[in-house]
C-alpha cells in the first residue's frame, strides 16, 4: 500500500481470448467504479481508455486464455510488466469454453467455422495463463464474481490476504437457503464438485449447477459421476456435463475422459 501522498498504484487490464465479461464485471461495479478509478492509476485498460502509463504495473488483471502464438509470447511480456498478476475468470484460469477444442481435432473445428482455415494463426489448444507464466492470484468463474474482484483488489492494496472461499457450491446453497436440487429433485448438479463463489444461482433458479467456477479443492468427481449415473445420465451426458467452461482443469478433464472411454471408477 502506498502512503497517503505517494503515487497511486498502477493497474493494468489485459485481454486475451475471451468474451469480455470479466473486465465488464469491473465496469458493472457501478457503485464502486468511480471510487476504484480514483484510488488507482489505470496504466493499461484499452476498453476504458486510450491512455497508457509506462510499466511496471502494481497489479495486472488478465482476462482470457492463450490460443495464439502471439498471445503465448505476449503473456510473458505481461508477466514482466506486473508485480502482481491476477488471472481473472474461467478462460484465464482454465482455458475457458474455447478449450473444448482441446478435445477435438483442430483442423476439423476450423473448417466448420472458416472457409479458408489455412490463414488462421491459432494454437491447437486453449490453455490457462498459469500454463505459461506464474500467477499470483486466480479469480474463478464464468464470469467472475464482482464481490470477489473487489475483495482481491482491496486486499492487495491494503496489504492483506484476500478472503476467497474454496469450499463447494453446496456452501453457497446453504447460505442462500436453496433446497438441494440434487437430493430433493434428482436434478443432475455438479455443485458438490464446484468451487463456491457464484452464490448458488443455478439451484436458486431450480436447475443444477453447471460448474462455471471450476473444480473445488480435492473435488470428489468420482462419487459425483456415480451419482449422475444413478440419476440416469449416460457416459456421453456425463462427459458433456464436466466439459463446459472449465473443461480443461485436471479434475473435470480426468473424469470426463474416463466417462468418455466408458471406464468404471474402480
Partner 1 sequence: MSQTRTIKVDLLARVEGEGSFYVRFSGSHVSDVKLRIPEPPRLFEGILEGRGYEELPDIVARICGICPIAHQMSAIHAVEQAFGIAVHPSIRALRRLFYCGEWIESHALHIYLLHAPDYLGYADVIELARDHKPRVEAGLKLKKIGNDLMALLGGREIHPVSACVGGFYRVPLVAELRTMRAPLAEARELAVETARFVAGFDFPDFEQNYEFVALVHENEYAINEGRVVSSGGLDIAVEQYQDHFVERQVAHSHALHSAIRGRGSYLVGPLARFNLNFERLPASVRELARELGVTPPCRNPFRGIVVRALEIVFACEEALRLVDEYERPPAACAEVHPRAGIGQACTEAPRGLLYHRYELDESGTIRSARIIPPTAQCLKRMEEDLYFLVGKMASLPTPELTHRCEQAIRNYDPCISCATHFLQVTVERE
Site for partner 1, rule CB under 8 A: 15-22, 24-25, 27-28, 30-31, 33-34, 37, 42, 46-51, 67-68, 70-71, 96-98, 100-101, 104, 108-110, 112-116, 119-122, 142-143, 198, 201-202, 204-207, 210, 212, 237, 240, 244-245
Question: Which of residues 30 and 217 has its CB atom nearest to partner 1 in the complex?
Answer: 30
For 100, counting Cβ atoms within 10 Å of its Cβ (0-12 exposed, 13-18 middle, 19+ buried), the class is middle
Query: Maximum CA pair distance of the chain?
Result: 63
Determine the Cα–Cα distance for residues 108 and 42; give it in Å rounded to an integer: 41
Determine the Cα–Cα distance for residues 94 and 235; give it in Å rounded to an integer: 23
**Shortest distance in whole angstroms from residue 38 CB to partner 1:** 8
DSSP string of 126-155? -B-GGGTS--SEEE-BTTB-HHHHHHHHHH
**Shortest distance in whole angstroms from residue 266 CB to partner 1:** 28
Phi, psi of 19 (to 5 degrees): -100, -5
**Shortest distance in whole angstroms from residue 204 CB to partner 1:** 7
Question: Which of residues 27 and 223 has its CB atom nearest to partner 1 in the complex?
Answer: 27
Question: Which of residues 183 and 223 has its CB atom nearest to partner 1 in the complex?
Answer: 183
Phi, psi of 264 (to 5 degrees): -75, 160
**186 sits in which H/E element:** none
**Shortest distance in whole angstroms from residue 218 CB to partner 1:** 26
Q: What cell does 132 get?
A: 505459461
**Shortest distance in whole angstroms from residue 137 CB to partner 1:** 20
Question: Which of residues 4 and 31 has its CB atom nearest to partner 1 in the complex?
Answer: 31
Question: Which of residues 4 and 38 has its CB atom nearest to partner 1 in the complex?
Answer: 38
Amino acid at each position: 500500500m502506498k502512503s497517503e501522498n505517494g503515487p497511486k498504484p498502477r493497474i493494468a487490464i489485459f485481454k486475451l481470448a475471451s468474451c469480455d465479461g470479466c473486465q465488464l464485471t469491473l465496469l458493472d461495479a457501478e457503485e464502486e467504479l468511480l471510487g476504484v478509478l480514483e484510488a488507482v492509476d489505470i496504466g493499461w485498460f484499452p476498453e476504458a481508455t486510450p491512455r497508457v502509463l509506462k510499466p511496471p504495473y502494481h497489479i495486472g488483471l488478465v482476462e482470457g486464455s492463450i490460443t495464439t502464438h502471439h498471445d503465448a509470447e505476449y503473456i510473458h511480456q505481461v508477466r514482466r510488466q506486473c508485480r502482481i498478476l491476477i488471472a481473472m475468470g474461467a478462460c484465464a484460469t482454465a482455458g475457458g469454453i474455447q478449450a473444448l477444442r482441446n478435445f477435438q481435432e483442430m483442423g476439423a473445428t476450423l473448417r466448420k467455422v472458416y472457409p479458408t482455415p489455412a490463414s488462421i494463426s491459432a494454437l491447437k489448444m486453449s490453455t490457462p495463463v498459469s500454463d505459461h507464466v506464474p500467477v499470483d492470484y486466480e479469480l474463478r468463474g464464468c464470469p467472475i464474481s464482482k464481490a470477489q474482484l473487489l475483495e482481491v483488489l482491496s486486499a492487495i492494496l491494503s496489504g492483506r490476504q484476500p478472503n476467497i472461499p474454496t469450499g463447494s457450491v453446496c456452501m453457497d446453497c446453504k447460505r442462500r437457503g436453496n433446497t438441494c436440487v440434487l437430493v430433493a429433485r434428482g436434478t443432475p448438479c455438479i455443485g458438490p464438485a464446484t468451487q463456491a463463489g457464484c452464490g448458488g444461482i443455478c439451484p436458486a433458479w431450480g436447475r443444477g449447477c453447471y460448474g462455471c467456477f471450476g473444480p473445488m479443492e480435492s473435488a470428489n468427481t468420482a462419487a459425483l459421476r456415480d451419482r449422475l449415473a444413478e440419476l440416469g445420465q449416460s457416459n456421453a451426458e456425463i462427459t458433456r456435463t464436466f466439459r463446459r467452461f472449465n473443461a480443461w482443469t485436471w479434475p473435470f478433464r480426468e473424469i470426463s475422459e474416463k466417462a468418455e472411454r466408458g471406464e468404471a471408477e474402480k
